[in-house]
Structure 1
Amino acid sequence: MRLINTHTLKLEEFHGSIPPYAILSHRWETEEVTFDDYPTQVDLPSDDAMKGFRKIRYCVDQAKKDGLDYCWVDTCCIDKSSSAELTEAINSMYAWYRDSVICYIYLSDVSTSITAVDSRMDDETAALLHYEIGSSQWFRRGWTLQELLAPRRRTFYNASWSKIMDLDKPDGRVSRVESRSPAYQLSVGLTDTIAIATGISKDVLKTFSSTSTNWSVALKMSWASNRQTTRIEDVAYSLMGIFDINMPLLYGEGAKAFLRLQEEIMKTTYDHTIFCWSDPSATCFIRFVYGDLAGSP
């Protein structure tokens, strides 16, 4: 695993024992910093060099504030020119998010912040925050599912890296659950907004484990429905960690990847809900198909 040292800013490789680290979840946009783009010098270039450096700097600075010596950003910590490294990374991705100390979720299309919430925050501002978060494109990504469910602690930040909320605490500034301050109430409400945006209940958001049998195959697939990935194969590859399976990556196989995913799932479970899916192309309103594999989540 390759990590960014938050003090030297250099990339370091680890095998076996991995030090505590923060991890970033974000959307790939223009001017991302790849492994080949990452500088070998100590200082990161200015934001004018490539826009992707800004979020890397945000992540590094926050990890350092949180007392962590390392952080991980997928854009520059994976050498995607190596098919072997890419395969290992995608098969390990769920575990990397799960084993992180904290996951920083960067919503680049959200501008409103909760950091200044107090008794004077009006309903209109609160409504705008809920709307912006629920409308964020981050929630539409295929890879978001494991990046949201795997980490033990998840903190959301807006476009300027102002803290929105800590999903795993009532609010970072509220020390006691019994404190019913406006900040606490709004934070709880944002958890509802995230549950609505993802289709995942608050209980699952708090307790999910890929090895648990508490949630059926069909339910997990429903969380993945209507999500988008750039590569069609990633519809399947982004779900491997959710179902606790591993399989080779074959970019170019297209929709066959999702069929392989289902075959691997059937090797590990007797859950027949994998066969319970609806065909949107059927002439009737809904036709439930039993005994065959679905073409997509």
Structure 2
Amino acid sequence: MWLLDTKTGALTNSKGSYAILSHVWSPSGEQTFQEVRALIPIPGLSGASAKIKDCCAFARGHGYSRVWIDTCCIDKTSSAELSEAINSMYLWYSEAVVCIVFLEDVDASQDPRNPHSQFRRSRWWRRGWTLQELIAPRAVLFVSRDWEPLGTKRSLADIIEQITGIDRSVLANDRPLNTISVARRMSWAAGRETTRLEDEAYSLMGLFDIHMPTLYGEGRRAFIRLQEEILRRIPDQIRIVVCHTRRRLAMPRSFGRAFGPLATAPR
């Protein structure tokens, strides 16, 4: 995996401890792997975007010399590297020393526990990929738009449970994910949005310990494939998943007789 040096901005393909960023991509775009690599001749991080510079400064200030940011630490021009990254994403988040959740639409002056706080209404809670980015890391630190700490996953577990429906025992790392039913895990994804249709499935692979090829362009077939893989691993629970979804897609008769229709989205 590529890691960004928090002092120089250099990208290195190496192992070791690292912080990891979780955020909502900007509609105007983010700096890519190629763009950040091209900045290496420029001293420090002077040519990097505000988000990358601020993330590196925050991580460096908390003692982390390297950070992983999805927008610039994956060479998305390589389909092989992109597929490997998507299949490894849950592992990478779980192995990070800390996950920094940057909430660009949240003010530090607001108390997250306020029933009408920006924290509760942040777009971050509605994105598909952020589900595994919340669950996988043991240490999660939420920061405001000004990179001021708001609290941790553990300290805010009761609030996060209210927002997401995710069991507090899972958020506190007291209960292994594989002890949670497939239906329950799938319900956490309901109502979340992804920019690419296929990511409705790809963003959930880590939650079920599934690895499969990523094929952008396959549309809702991706979610069917995900369920087929879950069926192979946990066959006794696939019927429950279907009951928790609304949309259906006709499958071959032999498949339907054996297992019933599979859903086309986690809704």
With normalisation by structure 2, the TM-score equals 0.87
Which amino acid counterpart does residue 35 of structure 1 have in structure 2? F
1:129, distance to aligned residue in structure 2 (A): 7.7
Quick one: which of 249, 263, 266 aligns to 2:228?
A: 263
SS at match of 1:165: strand
SS at match of 2:263: coil
Percentage of pairs with the same residue: 47
Written as runs of structure 1 = structure 2, the 5 A alignment for 1:169-180 is: 170=155
SS at match of 1:142: coil
The C-alpha deviation readout for 1:25-65, integer Å capped at 9, x for no partner, is: 0000124111122112332236xxx7xx2221222122222
Written as runs of structure 1 = structure 2, the 5 A alignment for 1:206-285 is: 206-207=172-173, 209-210=176-177, 212=178, 214-272=179-237, 273-279=240-246
Q: Larger Cα Rg: Structure 1 or Structure 2?
A: 1
- Name structure 1 gaps, 5 residues minimum: 115-124, 171-189, 282-289
Q: Is the 8 A contact 1:155 1:167 kept in 2?
A: yes
Q: Is the 8 A contact 1:113 1:162 kept in 2?
A: no
- For residues 253 and 278 of structure 1, what CA distance do their matches in structure 2 show? 20
Q: Is the 8 A contact 1:6 1:61 kept in 2?
A: yes
- Name structure 2 gaps, 5 residues minimum: 249-258
CA distance 1:129–1:162, change in 2 (3 Å): farther
Written as runs of structure 1 = structure 2, the 5 A alignment for 1:1-297 is: 1-14=1-14, 18-29=15-26, 30-38=28-36, 39-40=39-40, 41-45=42-46, 53-113=49-109, 128=114, 131-168=117-154, 170=155, 190-207=156-173, 209-210=176-177, 212=178, 214-272=179-237, 273-279=240-246, 291-297=260-266
SS at match of 1:156: strand
- For residues 9 and 21 of structure 1, what CA distance do their matches in structure 2 show? 14
Q: Is the 8 A contact 1:22 1:63 kept in 2?
A: yes
Q: Is the 8 A contact 2:126 2:193 kept in 1?
A: yes
- For residues 269 and 113 of structure 1, what CA distance do their matches in structure 2 show? 45
SS at match of 1:224: coil
CA distance 1:126–1:293, change in 2 (3 Å): closer
- For residues 2 and 230 of structure 1, what CA distance do their matches in structure 2 show? 24
- For residues 226 and 76 of structure 2, what CA distance do their matches in structure 1 show? 22
With normalisation by structure 1, the TM-score equals 0.78
- For residues 171 and 201 of structure 2, what CA distance do their matches in structure 1 show? 21
- For residues 187 and 115 of structure 2, what CA distance do their matches in structure 1 show? 26
Q: Is the 8 A contact 1:216 1:271 kept in 2?
A: no
- For residues 131 and 280 of structure 1, what CA distance do their matches in structure 2 show? 33
Which amino acid counterpart does residue 52 of structure 2 have in structure 1? I
Which amino acid counterpart does residue 45 of structure 2 have in structure 1? L
1:130, distance to aligned residue in structure 2 (A): 5.5
What RMSD, in angstroms, separates the aligned Cα atoms of the two structures? 2.0
- For residues 293 and 146 of structure 1, what CA distance do their matches in structure 2 show? 22
1:165, distance to aligned residue in structure 2 (A): 0.6
1:275, distance to aligned residue in structure 2 (A): 3.5
SS at match of 1:241: helix
